[in-house]
Amino acid sequence: MSDKGNIIITGVSSGIGLAIAKAALENGYVVQGVGRNAPEALEGADCWSFSACDLTDLAAVDALKFQTGAHTILINNAGTLGPVVQGENAMGSDIEACMLLNVTAPMRLTARFLKEVEGDKQVYFTGSGAAQYAIPGWSAYCASKAAIHMYAEVLAQEYPQVPIHAFKPGKVDTPMQAQIRNTTTENFPSVAHFIEEYETGNLVKPETVAERLLHVIASDDKPGVVFPISQINPTS
């Protein structure tokens, strides 16, 4: 049993989730990763377990067993960009998969977490600036992230004793950003800007996001419910 607590985090096979899982283990947390694919990098690591779960399968979401302790933190991180097309061309099944993964699964997991988990707890959502800016081509993604920001806002009022936050990570150098750069201008008019941000070295490292989020988790001085991770200074 760790002094720090237990972290349950979804979407740990790559990107931000993998960086948070690694950093949490290095910082003395017991970590339960949840997702379709376990990260090879963490195979056999102490204090690490992986629960295979396709989060678009709601029966699997509802059956997930939480690994808890005296202090347990849920990080709803798994996400998808969803269909990157003009709204009229978005396939119904792609819209549904995006909403299931980005909205329904984190809401169902969080509802169960709040009801079932005893002891101190905290809840985080990987939100996005796309929740607050209309980005042509990203109708499903923007709508899904706006929904999860507002969900966090409502829960934070309902459970003032539980830290509940959605953090905006910025543009982070992950497979999702590579996917964005591989879209067409026709489907995603801003693609050139994202390519330029990558080529000029302006993407945030996933490890930086992880370090800042762990600082927030460990601190008594919490930011607002929805906050940009860039405002967090781990050395302060």
Q: Which of 29, 124, 141, 151 is catalytic?
A: 141
Helices (H), the chain: 15-26, 58-63, 92-99, 105-116, 139-158, 175-181, 191-199, 206-218
Tell me: does residue 35 bind ligand NAP (CB under 6 A). yes
Neighbours of 227 (CB within 10 A): 17
Nearer to ligand NAP, 2 or 177 (CB): 177
DSSP 182-224: TS-TTT-TTHHHHHHHHHTT-SBPHHHHHHHHHHHHH-SS---
CA distance 35 to 83: 20
Q: Which stretch binds ligand NAP (CB under 6 A): 49-57, 85-93, 113-121, 222-230?
A: 49-57
Judged by CB under 6 A, which of 122, 174, 183, 208 binds ligand NAP?
174
Tell me: does residue 77 bind ligand NAP (CB under 6 A). yes
CA distance 45 to 102: 28
Judged by CB under 6 A, which of 171, 181, 215, 222 binds ligand NAP?
171
Q: Which stretch binds ligand NAP (CB under 6 A): 1-9, 13-21, 63-71, 152-160?
A: 13-21
Active-site residue list: 141
- Chain residues binding ligand NAP by CB under 6 A are 11-17, 35-37, 54-56, 77-80, 101, 126, 128, 169, 171-172, 174-177
